[in-house]
Amino acid sequence: MKHLLFLLLFGVSSVAIAQNRGMELVPKENRFALLIGVNEYQKPIQSLRFCESDIDLLEKTLREIGVEHIVKMTTSATKSRYLPTKENILRQVERITGLAEAGSQVIIAFSGHGVTMNGKAYLCPMDANVKKSDSFVSRDTIFNLLSECPATQKLCFIDACRDEFMVEGAKSISGMKGLNPAEITDPGFVLISSCAKGEQSWEHPQLKNGVFTYFLVEGLTGAAAQDGEVTMMSLFSYVNRKTKFYVDEHFEVLQRPQIRFNQQEVGDFVLARVDSTIPKPVLPISSDPTAGERMVKTINGVEYAFRWCPAGSFMMGSPEGELGRYNDETQHRVTLTKGFWMLETEVTQEMWVAVMGDNPSWFSSTGIGKDKVSGMNTDNFPVENVSWDDCQEFCQKLRSQGLNVQLPTEAQWEYACRAGTTTGLNNGKDITSETVSCYNLDEVGWYEENSDSTTHVVGQKKPNAWGLYDMHGNVLEWCADWYGKDSYAKSPTSDPTGPASGSLRVSRGGSWSDDAKLCRSAFRRGSTPTFRRYRLGFRPVLVP
């Protein structure tokens, strides 16, 4: 899942603009904006998290700098005409460009997925269908409508793609790539992209937006002002500088915004005026992530997506009377005093091979179970047939490359799995049968009754409230603790780490080959640290 965030920014007059930084602003009654944010997509396109947040922030900012007429389209819209379907988007683009006259300003902003097919760029509406190329919105269509519009200034923000599309058995949709920056030949357009070719664009959980969007808005609201004016070039200079240094500091990678325009035809112009006597505003940054916030780290070209699990207390174990309960699940209160980041999915075969250089999995092209996955790309299947000792070696090698990970404690694992729930499953439901088909478990996990005797691509079932996938079933997950049948009775109430010694290590969550009762949030199992099996995998947590 790659963060290839490309923003097309400012297209201006369809006639040449003189080199005049003091050019008058368009009156607010002649400024129009159409803002489109798509968080939710149809399967198998992966939904996004912060697209609507980006649009909300842009809406607030544009109103502050004097844009009077704003139409917002999001997947959470209550009126059907404002849902970002292909038909609705094109209708609203035609509407807003039809309203504009000479002397007007038109702004179109899009945040969501974007793809390139056969060399042409497309935006993905909420009803995009990967099997129907005509279900996408052509970027050229939007640009043509803007070019034909008589407005004097034309501004276009396109924020795409924040995550790579995911389909079962493949890393990305065949033939589709992240949206490419447009070449600018029309003298009326200026393009600012959020990163250079081959780079990724990042979002940070503390910002609750894309890094580029955050500094774009900060610049527009005055941080980029020179002598009380925010101009096109002063804004780009600010966004370029702030973005690349922020991303370098937090992710240790390059993200360098770019600008494109017809330099012979377009000069600088004013976007906003601010009172230079008032301190430049700085948008708030959260001191701590919120539950379920997502952070992505990249090592050797492979992305590791983590979800934030905040500090808190919960009832560990299962209540008497829970269907399928075992007597080593004595319920007791546990407090975790520190939050932690947990890998969003189980470690995949791609992750394992990139670090360890081999693939021990049964369900791979070279594994004992290769017939079950014949013809499939198993990169995004969970790695399995790994021992506790193997997992420790994997974590150590990642630590040596700068990703400070370790196996979760048993308490961390169950706390993250439950994500605030107290039921047998993390979807707020209990199992309805200990062994046979269980609809409640079907929602969230692969187990004996629905797995067809194999593992499956991670992230296909419903996640829990904190965005963690496959905590029930698919593969068992090793934890750091020694297993003790009666250890809960002796467990400390804060930050327990299990018995000091033992012969078995804990694994949790159940697997594709297990009955429903063995996939509950509270179920525990112990195995020797050297034991390997086709149902055993893991997911690490980041060490503070």
Give the residue from 257, 226, 222, 225 showing the smallest Cα distance to 243. Answer: 257
Looking at residue 173, its pLDDT comes to 40
Closest Cα to residue 505, out of 387, 418, 328?
A: 387
How many percent of the chain have pLDDT more than 70?
85
232-251 helix and 211-218 helix, angle to the nearest 10 degrees: 140
Element containing residue 362 per DSSP (H, E) = none
Whole-structure pTM value: 0.53
Check residue 16 and give its pLDDT: 34
CA distances, 434 to each of 2, 188, 329, 392, 448 (Å): 39, 66, 16, 33, 11
Place of tokens 């070696």: 393
Rounded CA gap, 409 and 288, in Å? 22
In 3D space, the residue among 422, 423, 427 whose CA is nearest the CA of residue 442 turns out to be 427
Comparing 543 with 455, which gets the higher pLDDT? Answer: 455
How confident is the model over 508-535, as pLDDT tens digits? 999 999 999 999 999 999 999 999 999 9
Q: Residue 328 above 70 pLDDT?
A: yes
Q: What is the DSSP letter of 181?
A: P
Between CA 495 and CA 504 the distance in angstroms is 20
Q: Which pLDDT score is estimated for 103?
A: 82
Mean pLDDT of all residues in 212-226: 88
The yes-or-no verdict on residue 86 having pLDDT over 80 is yes
- Structure token pair of residue 71: 């139409």
User: b vs e for 221-256, b when ≥16 Cβ sit within 10 Å of the residue's Cβ?
Assistant: bbbbbeeebbbbbbbbbbbbebbbebbeeebeeebe
Mutual angle of helices 51-64 and 211-218, in 10-degree steps: 10
Burial 404-421 (b: 16+ CB within 10 A, else e): ebbbbbbbbbbbbbbbeb
The better pLDDT of the pair 49, 295 is held by 295
- The conformation of residue 47, written as its DSSP 8-state character, comes to P
Q: Which residues contact 36 (CB under 8 A, 6 or more apart)?
A: 55, 72, 73, 74, 84, 89, 108, 109, 110, 111, 112
* Side-chain-facing half-sphere of 143: CA atoms under 13 Å: 23
Give me the pLDDT at residue 2, please.
Answer: 33
For 159, residues 6+ apart whose C-beta sits below 8 A from its C-beta are 5, 6, 7, 51, 54, 109, 110, 111, 112, 194, 210, 213
pLDDT band at residue 263, thresholds of 50, 70 and 90?
low
Band of residue 476 on the pLDDT scale cut at 50, 70, 90:
very high
- pLDDT of 226 higher than 80: yes
Each residue's pLDDT tens digit, 101-139? 988 888 888 888 877 777 788 889 999 998 888 999 998
Which residues 6+ apart lie within 8 Å of 400 measured at CB?
none
pLDDT digits (tens, 9 = 90+) for 188-206: 567 777 777 666 667 676 7
Containing 541, the helix (H) or strand (E) segment is strand 541-542
User: What integer pLDDT is reported at residue 286 of this predicted model?
Assistant: 56
Dihedral angle sign, alpha carbons of residues 246, 248, 251, 254: positive
User: 248 to each of 164, 200, 533, how far by Cα in Å?
Assistant: 22, 12, 40
Between CA 299 and CA 309, with CA 304 as vertex, the angle to 5 degrees is: 135
Q: Once rounded to an integer, what is the mean pLDDT over residues 464-482?
A: 97
